[in-house]
Chains A and B, each alone.
Chain A
Amino acid sequence: MLIEQSAYTNRWRRVSPAAKGTFSLCGMIAAYAAAAPTTACGVAAILCAVTVLGAGIPPVRYLRVAAPALLFLAVSVLSLAVSLKIGATAGDLSLHLARTELERVAHVCGRSLGGLAALLFLALTTPLSDIISLLRRCKLPDTLLDLMTLCYRTLFVLSETVHETITAQSARMGHATMTRSLRSLGGMIANLSVQVWQRSQALHLAALARNNDGALRFLEPDYPDSPRAISLAVISGLALIIMAVSLP
């Protein structure tokens, strides 16, 4: 979990999540509002630089986290820009670069890059529990946030279980051949389904034991010096938006 690791160890871990959220939001707006694709790319570059230089995320890790999204973006841009043309005569098939489309594709691409950089900024500098409590303060519905909390927590419990199950199965030759591997996989899925059910039951009991009666309430983390951080974020965020809009 590279994102996790960065979120907990970066230089801006203690900066108020509200400030980081505001800046990230401004970055997204700037990327969307940018008039020219190059400006959007510029916004992306700035956000990326802030993440790497400001929060101190190692560039290699940044690239590794961004890689899947970039790959996805590349594939979609290609499929948008290049279209198959079926000729009049049968079997006449040609790839066609839509020149008129190109500008729109560049726009979409720039915006996506900017949006990605803005989201990565938030994800790499802020642990999810902070993001959730930020969203709670933004008055998002409790049910949604409780679900997020439980999913996030369960994710780790389950991934640990999957790991352990695979190790245990391998230790008993469960993955020696292809067919056995398939069998073991089936066994694991069946077992996991039961476990998920049992775990939800156990969580429910544990919640009852700690006097819970519905919504999950936690103490929100307390961050020092938030007004200054927030005003700084608002100012730099606005500057970013203004720059994006005013540049041709």
Chain B
Amino acid sequence: MSDPILSFTDVSYRYPDGTNALNNCSLTIRRGTRTAVLGANGAGKTTMFLHLNGILRPTGGHVQWEETPLDYSRRGMRELRSRVGLVFQNPDSQLFSASVREDVSFGPMNLGLVKEIVRERVAEALLAVGMAESADKPVHNLSYGQKKRVCIAGVLAMQPEVLVLDEPMAGLDAAMQTELTAVLERLHASGMTVIIATHDLDFAYGWADEVIVLQSGELLAHGLPAEILQQEDVQDELGAAPLVAEITRTLSLIGIDLRDKGYLPRSKNELLKAITALSRQEKTS
């Protein structure tokens, strides 16, 4: 197990209007892992994310970076926010500048980097999200999905250690989702810790190392997707189970075991592969 990078200890948060958005949440996120945060609308995902880079300060409990509680001073926040990059849900409310390249440069310029380095990082980040050709376009001429990718590039250009994405897949077409998944895969391979809020159970099941399920501000479950997403209370709360998980379970009920050395398929492609492999085995035997 890798070291903890961010953790919550009994974190509670109450909005000024009295809404209790988080209640005594304790959890640990480890370096280099992929975490999916699940929960119904209003469960507190966004609120949780705002705590991860110090924009909200818990009204109870505390948040830790590695083992030390966050330092909410100006300097402490600068340091934290250069390490934890947060991409918000709505692209229109986080793009400042009219031109794509300028907007992506905003974060690295705030870090006080010299222009040459900023230029390099902007180009790299735009390349990573596949928006290099649109660098000189005005932001308002981009499609929704393209704007989302620019937002992600804007945070990638800061080269954070932890990337936190609030519903990055929402509003993207299937091709863009696949592409974004590939981008995330590359980032993960390069050692980045990635945390994603999503409503897409199938994606969470196939992609995440760990899932966190929130239920009206409380931590309902935290652990391996294969275990957590099979729990009855979790399925009740989320209203569904991942399709691949249901198919493998049903098949196992009728005596077809897709397990390959103990590994269950987690995505559509893995499932198809397992089924083909099984039918081949049957033919040869």
Q: Are A149 and B98 in contact (CB under 8 A)?
A: yes
Q: Are A129 and B81 in contact (CB under 8 A)?
A: no
Tell me if B53 counts as interface (CB < 8 A to partner A).
Answer: yes
Q: Contacts A129-B102, A211-B107, A211-B111: A153 and B88 contacting too (C-beta < 8 A)?
A: no
Q: Are B138 and A8 in contact (CB under 8 A)?
A: yes
Q: Contacts A156-B140, A210-B106: A127 and B81 contacting too (C-beta < 8 A)?
A: no
Tell me if A168 counts as interface (CB < 8 A to partner B).
Answer: no
Closest to B103 in A: A218
Q: Which residues of chain A in 209-248 are interfacial with respect to chain B, using CB atoms and an 8 Å cutoff?
A: 209-213, 216-222
- Chain B residue contacts of A4, Cβ below 8 A: 138
Interface readout for B156-184 with A: 1 if CB under 8 Å, 0 if not?
00100000000000000000000000000
Q: Are B74 and A150 in contact (CB under 8 A)?
A: no
Say whether chain B's binding surface is mostly helix, strand, loop, or mixed. helix
Closest to B135 in A: A221
Tell me if A208 counts as interface (CB < 8 A to partner B).
Answer: yes
Q: Are A127 and B82 in contact (CB under 8 A)?
A: no
- The chain B residues found within 8 Å of chain A, CB to CB, are 50, 53, 55, 74, 78, 81-82, 85-86, 88, 90, 92-99, 101-103, 105-111, 115, 118-119, 122, 136-140, 154-155, 158
Q: Are A210 and B102 in contact (CB under 8 A)?
A: no
Q: How far apart sit A190 and B5, CA to CA, in the bound complex (Å)?
A: 44
Tell me if A66 counts as interface (CB < 8 A to partner B).
Answer: no
Q: Which residues of chain A in 176-220 are interfacial with respect to chain B, using CB atoms and an 8 Å cutoff?
A: 199, 202-203, 205-213, 216-220
Q: Are A218 and B106 in contact (CB under 8 A)?
A: yes
Q: How far apart sit A245 and B130, CA to CA, in the bound complex (Å)?
A: 53
Known: A153-B139, A203-B93. 6 other contacts (CB 8 A): A129-B138, A153-B98, A205-B55, A207-B96, A213-B78, A217-B110
Tell me if A157 counts as interface (CB < 8 A to partner B).
Answer: yes
Question: Can you list 19 contacts pairing A with B, beta carbon distance less than 8 Å?
Answer: A127-B99, A129-B102, A153-B97, A153-B98, A153-B139, A157-B140, A160-B140, A202-B88, A205-B55, A206-B96, A208-B81, A210-B110, A211-B81, A211-B110, A212-B106, A213-B74, A219-B118, A219-B119, A221-B136
CB distance from A180 to the nearest CB of B (A): 29
Q: Which of B88, B102, B139, B140 contacts A206 (CB 8 A)?
A: B88
Sort chain A's interface into a size bin. 20 to 34
Q: How far apart sit A127 and B100, CA to CA, in the bound complex (Å)?
A: 13
Q: How far apart sit A218 and B28, CA to CA, in the bound complex (Å)?
A: 35
Q: Which of A150, A157, A208 contacts B55 (CB 8 A)?
A: A208
Closest 4 CB pairs of A and B: A219-B105, A206-B94, A202-B93, A156-B140
Q: Are B94 and A203 in contact (CB under 8 A)?
A: yes
Closest to A156 in B: B140
Q: Contacts A211-B78, A216-B106: A150 and B140 contacting too (C-beta < 8 A)?
A: no
CB distance from B163 to the nearest CB of A (A): 12
Q: Which of A127, A149, A210 contacts B107 (CB 8 A)?
A: A210
CB distance from A48 to the nearest CB of B (A): 25
Q: How far apart sit A152 and B155, CA to CA, in the bound complex (Å)?
A: 22
Tell me if A128 counts as interface (CB < 8 A to partner B).
Answer: yes
- Chain A residue contacts of B139, Cβ below 8 A: 153, 156
Q: Are B50 and A205 in contact (CB under 8 A)?
A: yes
- Chain B residue contacts of A206, Cβ below 8 A: 88, 93-94, 96
